[in-house]
Structure 1
Amino acid sequence: MRKILLSCLALWSATVLAQQPAPTQNANSRFEQLGPMLPTPNTFRTAAGAPGKDYFQNRADYDIKVELDDANQKIIGSETVTYHNNSTDVLPYIWLQLDQNLFAKGSTGSVTRTGGVSENGMSFAQLQNLTSVRERSNTQATDKYGYKITAVTDAKSRTPLKYTINQTMMRIDLPAPLKPGTSYSFNIDWNYFITEYYGRSGYEFFPKDGNSNYFIAHWFPRLCAYSDVNGWQNKQFLGQGEFTLIFGNYKVAITAPADHIVGSTGECQNYKQVLTAAQQKRMAQAANSKTPVVIVTQAEAEAAEKAKPTDVKAKKTWIYKADNVRDFAFASSRKFIWDAMQTDVYGDGRKIWSMSFYSKEGNPLWGQYSTRVVEHTLKSYGNRTIKYPYPVAISCHATAGGGMEYPMISFNGGRPEPDGTYSERTKAGMIGVIIHEVGHNFFPMIVNSDERQWTWMDEGLNTFCQYLAEKEWDYNFPTSRGEPQQIVDYMKSDKSVLSPIMTSSDNVISLGPNAYAKPATALNILRETVMGRELFDYAFKEYARRWAFKSPEPADFFRTLEDASGVDLDWFWKGWFYGVEPVDQDLVEVDWFQVDNQDPVVAKAAAREAAQRRANTISKQRDAATKDKSVVAQDSTMKDFYNAYDPYAVTDADKKKYQDYLATLSEEERKTLETNTKTNFYTLSLKNKGGVPMPVIVRMQFEDGTDSVARFPAEIWRFNDVQIRKVVATSKKVTQWTLDPYQEIADIDTENNSFPRSSQPTRFQLFKQQQRGGGAPPNPMQQQRRTTPPPAVQGTGRNE
């Protein structure tokens, strides 16, 4: 740092001097309003981000009868659909989604998958995957997967209706155009073969006992959404962009093998017919318990799983009802353990069921944690959005990893080792995925965004709420998304492989970082750094309140957060949601100034110090040993006036000149001079190397060991988004400056955040050359078990 003395007048001039714009600056465009980038407000959607007076949404009510054919792994169903046209438009036809056709021969989703075969070989699993893709291509003569539509008829007359199937979409031509405010009912019969579980739906087969767990979703023809924004949302299902759906009431009769346990969207209407007396008694206990009660025990599940699918001829029908939901899913297996509790989640007197269905392969983790995590998720999300309106929330254990969400029910991973041990990562992953998938009940099951178009509107918002719920579950929870530094590696990527968050779901590259992590991080930054918790939390809750059971668009979210907080965020949406530039602030230099009060005592002392510092060269230091041998030192006749002259001595003339100067000052000017004489003025030179303007947060470490943090909003870049200077005044001397000291803004390069520059060593290991192998090391639980007998664990039902 450089110390420069200047006059008081010059200092104040420097602080107000306008900065010259950089040749390539974009400040005006970065801080101008989104304007034409957002749709024009209208009577359907207001400029404030709220539904307008003419907002509408159509609905569909379903009466479905379905049978799960366990022996053939097949779904056989029939439905009566009543479609309500609440729009202002006349509809000559309606569109339905046939999502199982993703797996049919020639589907766009399968034949457009890309990749290659490596000459280095592949695993059997990879070969099987390629084979499955081949079987779903046009080169295969037969393909059993996808819907078989056997009938489409008018509900009253049973007259066949004309329909056209275009891959994952089906258009039904109506007998007469459906006018506004009217409804139409029709029937569809269908069947399809269930695929292996692929992350959203299907079956998981257990070779050891020959049974499968079924997770049945996007299993029936469902109405597409018709809105004021897109008309019919009938984009094909390619596998990545999820589902755009509408609300309705459901009555579903699920017929399954008699020894299966069925969990589903909605409330079961006939537990007395499908549960044993002992199970009904346990359920009554669970209805008044604050901890999970096992309704179907592990012993009962293990007894049931001894049967094979072909052994069981008897059937049971489970009847479920669900009102005002946008979808319906269910799970079924003879392997299921089932626990539940019904609790007053919000302290308002209304009880909600939290439930879990899992096979013994999930214990002891699932029995200990799942249902408690379900209840916690409802509480955490409800406090930030709206109270959970449905009567039940279910977590089902589906395969080892990943998860998928549907109204009131979710399919979640996280599985211990066969010996019952697990790593901390497995435990945290299971808890995290349950929070995430149960949390989807709020986004998009209640706040019903268009998943086929905008993945981030459900995944990003949900991941943000998951991050907060994880911290509320355990202060030290190892969150993987939400903290700004966790998105840095992604934002460092080459721009050619990055997509803006505002990218259609099927076109997003790196879906996880883009649609989950980056928007969640952006919201965390808004909450902690840009807006503050109070303003953000209020605005976020207002968004959920406005759009509960409605279908928002991105502009509605952007506008609501600004409208409810009074904070202009257009610059933020542009940088984080519409662009791919990273954050990289560079603290280039810090200049140190103090006011020159023209006191000769101070001025000449400073000048003396500066002169001595300049003269203290390495040569001077080494010549000091022989200074007495110089000619002048040894011959006094070579000395004159200047050998004794001290240019830095304070003379009477200097003192008089200073007094004369003080006499010219007014009383106010004298006070200003006295107040600021001991103040340190620092000019920070900053560059915005990344492109995204963000708040400037700088930590000052003082000479006395204390520190302080100065915060400047992003608008500091509004006149020049490339480079700026900022004056900071302190009463103490600063020894170290650090930008973004608490890692708040996802700065991709922290090496240029310090002045003077500081660096941390990178450690390296010394090792002996040796053969490595042996597979993954045991987890800590396994290591302890090998040395210490395991304690008795009550209630898991696991046979070690």
Structure 2
Amino acid sequence: MRRLLLALGTVCALAPSVFAQRGNLPSAQFNANTRFEQMGTTLPTPNTTRTASGAPGKEYWQQRADYDIKVELDDANQRIIGTETVTYFNYSPDELPYLWIQLDQNLFKKDAIGATTQLGGINEDGMSTAQLTRLAGGAKKEYGYNIISVKDLKGNALHTTTNHTMMRIDLPAPLKTGQSFSFSVEWNYNITDYYGRSGMEFFPKDGNYNYFIAHWFPRMAVYDDVNGWQHKQFLGQGEFTVPFGNYKVAITAPNDHIVGASGECQNYAQVLSKTQLERLEKAKKNFKDPTLIVTQDEAVTAEKGKPTGKKTWIFKADNVRDFAFTSSRKFIWDAMMTDVQGKKVLCMSYFSKEGNPLWEKYSTQVIAHTLKSYSARTIAYPYPVAISCHATPGGGMEYPMISFNGGRPEPDGTYSESVKYGMIGVIIHEVGHNFFPMIVNSDERQWSWMDEGLNTFCQYLAEQEWDRNFPSRRGEPQYIVDYMKSAPSTQVPIMSSSDNVLQFGPNAYAKPATGLNILRETIMGRELFDYAFKEYARRWAFKHPTPADFFRTMEDASGVDLDWFWKGWFYGVEPVDQDLVEVEWFAVDPMDPAVKKAAQKVIDDKKRQTLAVERNKKDIKETVVEANPNMKDFYNSYDRYAVTDAEKKKYAEYLASLTDEERKLLESGKNFYTLTVKNKGGLPMPVILKAQYEDGTSEVFRYPAEIWRMNDIQIRKVIPTDKKVTQWTLDPYMEIADIDTENNAYPRQAAQPTRFQVFKQRAGGAPQQNPMQQQRSTSGAVGGRN
């Protein structure tokens, strides 16, 4: 840092705003005005259905579809056989000559767009038989829907046209505003292996299947005021867009299966044993710990049995956008009641022994915590039940009131810390999806970030409430840095259609979640953000919001202009990289000759501390002047750093001429630091600076992103301090996802060495044990299955 002295009159004469903005005048090379202009026509024009405030308009409308479904799970052949009656209500102002139905199981047909557009190659290190069979097109079964009939309620066949994963039903007469139309569909399909969203998992040791059945019935597509019919093909990555409705579903399964589903079971008395019913009633009274409805011993016994018949479980779910269910004879089942803002909700988990001891200890407790955490930030959870099912070792998937979640310990019952927290995190995430998009019903087929990003943000907050040391993977700005560093050619804006997103996890989950965290902590503050976020959920609960509705509501409810942020973080791929280029240190010149001469002596003495001078002290035994005193004169004894009487008088006259304000400033000892900061990354963000003082204390200075509005390339900012600063640091708490922290300190800090390991060459070796296994091997049993 350079230290310069300012004449007192100069400082007092400059207006603070002029002084602070020196060198910041706009230029043709700057893009600041564009960055901070309003989004204008980038967002759709407000109207009577969606207002400029982001709220639903007075003429907002949406459609509805009610379902009465009878389905059988054919465990012997792994098939679904179903019939349904759909009643579709037209609340739009338009006449509809046809309806569109989603046939998502057709994703698995050989000629489906999702299958034929998949890319990849042969793995030279080896591929499984199943992988090669799929590539060769030699699957044992045909997958996708077998539609047997589509009829009106009189039994007349309706004309249909199937376009891959969409089917158009031509109506006998246009469906007018306010009318409804009912039709029936009969279908069946072969169940696929679990692929992350739906399917079955086979357990070779006991010969049983766990079924997780979703997007299993022909479902109505959404017709709305934004897209008309949303009938984008299901390609696998973009998820689902479904209207709300009421469901009555009768599920027939082997009589030794336990079935869980969206909604409330209407006939537990007919499908459960007396003991199971008693345990369920006990669970409904227990708000602290789960009660086992089916124990592990009972589930293991059921695994070994053979079904002797069938049972039909009847479920009812009102005002939901979808319906899913799970079924297995392997299931352990526990439940407990929780209170969510005065409403009782039954939390339940279904899991096989392969999930224990983790699932019995954590799953249902995590459900209860998630409902409370999310409800506090959005709306109170409205449904009567919430379910978590143990699907596979990893991943998860969500549907109304039910979710399929990963997280599996080792066969010996031990598990790593990452497996434990991964399981808890995925349950929070998938149960949390009840709020986004099951209640706040965004268009997943188009905008993945509106459910995954918002949900991941709430997941991060719920994880931190679960455990103060929870190792959350997404949410904190520093965790998105590697993605923001990646080549622009490998990124797309968050505002990209779901099926076109590259690097899906970082883009759809982490980047929007991180952006919301930055808004909450750094740009808006918690109070403004939390109010606006809750208002968005309140406005759009049980409705179909768009991105513009979210953007506008967040600004409308907070009073914070965020257009620059939406444009940069959501519509662009530029990173944040702020560079603290230079710091200049200014102080008011005290005009005291004693002070000035003492300072000059320090400078002059330093100039004389050269290598030659040091060597001359040794090599020159005696100078001429030292040898002959007659060579000395006035200047050999003259002290140029002594203050003369004339200088003292002049200084006294100067002090007498000062005003009270000038004298106060002179005596304050104020330091003025001019910091030059470059925006190397392009994305504007608040500028946060930490000053480390010479006495060991520190202070943080915060400036909003609008500091870049006149110049988005480089700014200079004057910061006055009472103490001397020894170190300046940009973004000291890692709040803005700065991709290069090496240029955030001034003076620059020394880089840390990269460590390397010296080791002996080894071949192979035993698999690495998790810490529980290591502890068990040295001190006895730890954990294990119940």
Partner of 2:159: 162
For the 8 Å contact 1:153–1:188, the answer to whether it is kept is: yes
- The total of aligned residue pairs comes to 780
Shift of 1:707: 1.1
Do structure 1's residue 613 and structure 2's residue 618 form an aligned pair? no
Give the partner amino acid of 1:343.
T
For the 8 Å contact 2:133–2:139, the answer to whether it is kept is: no
Partner of 2:218: 221
Corresponding residue to 2:395 among 402, 407, 411:
402
Change beyond 3 A, Cα 1:377–1:792 = closer
Shift of 1:566: 0.9
Equivalent residues in 2 for 1:414-493 (5 A)? 414-493=407-486
For the 8 Å contact 1:267–1:320, the answer to whether it is kept is: yes
Give the partner amino acid of 2:290.
P
Shift of 1:128: 2.2
Give the partner amino acid of 2:133.
T
Residues 164-173 or 622-631, more deviating: 622-631
Shift of 1:641: 3.8
Partner of 2:724: 733
Tell me the distance in 2 between the aligned counterparts of 1:416 and 1:540.
Answer: 37
Partner of 1:528: 521
Could you say what secondary structure the match of 2:304 adopts? Answer: coil
Corresponding residue to 1:499 among 492, 495, 513:
492
Shift of 1:785: 1.6
For the 8 Å contact 2:414–2:782, the answer to whether it is kept is: no
Could you say what secondary structure the match of 1:77 adopts? Answer: strand
Equivalent residues in 2 for 1:673-684 (5 A)? 673-675=666-668, 678-684=669-675
Tell me the distance in 1 between the aligned counterparts of 2:504 and 2:2.
Answer: 48
Gapped runs of 5+ residues in structure 2? Answer: none
Do structure 1's residue 713 and structure 2's residue 704 form an aligned pair? yes
Could you say what secondary structure the match of 2:107 adopts? Answer: helix
Do structure 1's residue 651 and structure 2's residue 649 form an aligned pair? no
Residues 6-15 or 237-246, more deviating: 6-15
Equivalent residues in 2 for 1:173-192 (5 A)? 173-192=170-189
Tell me the distance in 2 between the aligned counterparts of 1:564 and 1:653.
Answer: 67
Equivalent residues in 2 for 1:41-190 (5 A)? 41-118=46-123, 120-124=124-128, 128-135=130-137, 144-155=142-153, 157-190=154-187
Change beyond 3 A, Cα 1:134–1:247 = farther
Give the partner amino acid of 1:433.
V
Equivalent residues in 2 for 1:256-271 (5 A)? 256-271=253-268
For the 8 Å contact 1:111–1:133, the answer to whether it is kept is: no
Deviations 1:266-318 (A, max 9, x none): 000000100001100100110101210000111221111113xxx53511000
Tell me the distance in 2 between the aligned counterparts of 1:642 and 1:233.
Answer: 95
Could you say what secondary structure the match of 1:88 adopts? Answer: coil
Tell me the distance in 1 between the aligned counterparts of 2:652 and 2:633.
Answer: 32
Partner of 2:10: 10
Tell me the distance in 2 between the aligned counterparts of 1:512 and 1:263.
Answer: 29
Shift of 1:190: 0.6
For the 8 Å contact 1:84–1:184, the answer to whether it is kept is: yes
Shift of 1:130: 4.4
For the 8 Å contact 2:772–2:783, the answer to whether it is kept is: no
Shift of 1:608: 2.3
Equivalent residues in 2 for 1:536-685 (5 A)? 536-626=529-619, 629-675=622-668, 678-685=669-676
Give the partner amino acid of 1:388.
Y
For the 8 Å contact 1:22–1:722, the answer to whether it is kept is: no
Partner of 2:230: 233
Partner of 1:329: 324
Deviations 1:359-407 (A, max 9, x none): 0100111011100000000010011111100000000000100000000
For the 8 Å contact 2:413–2:783, the answer to whether it is kept is: no
Gapped runs of 5+ residues in structure 1? Answer: none
Residues 173-182 or 21-30, more deviating: 21-30
Partner of 1:343: 338
Residues 514-523 or 298-307, more deviating: 298-307
Could you say what secondary structure the match of 1:386 adopts? Answer: coil
Tell me the distance in 2 between the aligned counterparts of 1:738 and 1:624.
Answer: 43
Shift of 1:737: 1.1
Shift of 1:667: 3.5
Partner of 2:295: 297
Change beyond 3 A, Cα 1:420–1:131 = same
For the 8 Å contact 2:773–2:782, the answer to whether it is kept is: no
For the 8 Å contact 1:499–1:508, the answer to whether it is kept is: yes
Shift of 1:652: 2.1
Change beyond 3 A, Cα 1:724–1:620 = farther
Could you say what secondary structure the match of 1:751 adopts? Answer: coil
Give the partner amino acid of 2:61.
F
Identical amino acids, percent of aligned pairs: 67
For the 8 Å contact 1:628–1:634, the answer to whether it is kept is: no
Change beyond 3 A, Cα 1:338–1:587 = same
Give the partner amino acid of 1:355.
M
Tell me the distance in 1 between the aligned counterparts of 2:715 and 2:620.
Answer: 49
Tell me the distance in 2 between the aligned counterparts of 1:400 and 1:92.
Answer: 46
Partner of 2:752: 761
Do structure 1's residue 508 and structure 2's residue 496 form an aligned pair? no
For the 8 Å contact 2:405–2:430, the answer to whether it is kept is: yes
Tell me the distance in 2 between the aligned counterparts of 1:506 and 1:101.
Answer: 17
Shift of 1:18: 4.7
Give the partner amino acid of 1:54.
E
Give TM-score scaled by structure 1 length: 0.95
Shift of 1:142: 9.2
